Amino acid sequence: MMMFQATVLTISTLFAQGATGLALGLTLDQGPTNQYDGLSIVNARIESHSQLQQLRDAGVQPLTCFDHEGPTPMLFTKEHYKLASSLRIEINVLEPSVEKYLENFSLLRAESKARGIGGWYSDFKTWGEVNTKLSQIESTNPNIATMITVGTTHEGRSIHGIRITAPGDASSRKQILWNGCQHAREWVAVMVPMYIIDGLVDGWYNDDEIRTLLEKTEVIIVPIVNPDGYEFTYATGGNRFWRKNRRNNSGSCEGVDLNRNWGYEWNGGDSTSNDTCSDVYVG
């Protein structure tokens, strides 16, 4: 149990020092910084649909679902500041320089990793590193853990997960499915399901309540359902703010918002778009 306490402390410390990233549901790495030159992160207080639409038309990139009035975090250029002023939109600057913020957060990540508190959780992990850990968990716990593949992406990456349950026939057991990282830029949405996996495996040996759960339940966890987009946020020449997958939309803007692509109430209107360039494009 001490290992998990140390991990929580490490992740909490990392987030606290990157407070803007936490507020946005993001943590930011240093990428090819020239593409971020002149950008800042702001909270824009939207008071009308007209204001919202004019910002959309000007190409402002939101950092959350872009479908509501009220404070909304966005990436702004100098021209966007001028537009917001003309529209009487109140702006609160969270990070005046995205480029500098990315540099600082990269240093913070390196420091956290060097300290190593929390072991594997001392830093965020790539798709390959996550797959390696899933394989290790399976190999060291073959009685309860089975690595699975649930699909292949547009760029040919396997979507891996893990099935955790007590030994024996699981066909009549209830099933629970968790998935992570539908949105590529939300790195914490990878680490949380991995942490749950570790907790379940550790609990099988050390926690009667979790052991009872796994005797009655088959838990399936897919930590990264959007590996193409996720890897793009790490790549040289990629984009740390990328949200969608990397589907080719017939020569238009790339990507589909996987969290808007479920069958239930597909394209329901709230926080969805038929525009291929939108971060909430339904596909």
Q: Which CATH class is domain 14-105?
A: alpha beta
Of all residues in the chain, what percent carry a pLDDT higher than 90?
58
The predicted model gives 185-189 an average pLDDT of 95
Q: Note the pLDDT of residue 57.
A: 87
CA distances from 266 to 136, 257, 271, 274 (A): 37, 12, 11, 11
| Residue pLDDT, tens place only, 69-106 | 788 899 999 999 999 999 999 999 999 999 999 889 88
23 confidence band (pLDDT: 50, 70, 90): very low
DSSP for 112-157? HHHH-TTGGGGS---HHHHHHHHHHHHHH-TTTEEEEEEEE-TTS-
Is residue 164 within a helix (H) or strand (E), and if so which, with residue range? strand 158-164
Percent of the residues in the chain that have a pLDDT greater than 70, as a whole number: 86
Measured distance CA(249)–CA(234) in Å, rounded? 22
> In this structure, are residues 76 and 38 in contact, taking their beta carbons and an 8 Å threshold?
no
Sequence ranges of the domains in the chain: 14-105, 125-246
Q: Can you tell me the mean pLDDT for 24-53?
A: 74
Contacts of 185 (CB under 8 A, 6+ apart): 26, 229, 233, 240, 241, 242, 243
Structure tokens at 152: 């292949």
Work out whether strand 90-95 and strand 40-46 pair parallel, antiparallel, or are unpaired: antiparallel
CA dihedral 8, 9, 11, 16 (to 10 degrees): 130
pLDDT of residue 143 exceeding 60: yes
Report whether pLDDT(5) > 50. Answer: no
What's domain 125-246's superfamily in CATH? Zn peptidases (3.40.630.10)
Most confident of 17-26, 53-62, 129-138: 129-138
C-alpha–C-alpha distance, residues 197 and 94, integer Å: 34
For residues 188, 193, 195, 200, the Cα torsion angle rounded to the nearest 10 degrees is 170
Amino acid present at 157 = R
Do the beta carbons of residue 64 and residue 73 sit within 8 Å? yes
pLDDT of residue 66: 63
- Pairwise CA distance, residues 272 & 281, whole Å: 6
Measured distance CA(140)–CA(90) in Å, rounded: 55
- How far separated are the first and last CA of the chain, in Å rounded? 43
Mean pLDDT of 202-209: 98
Buried b (16+ CB within 10 A) or exposed e, 161-183: bbbbbbeeebeebeeeeebbbbb
pLDDT in tens, 249-282: 987 789 998 988 888 878 777 678 888 888 888 8
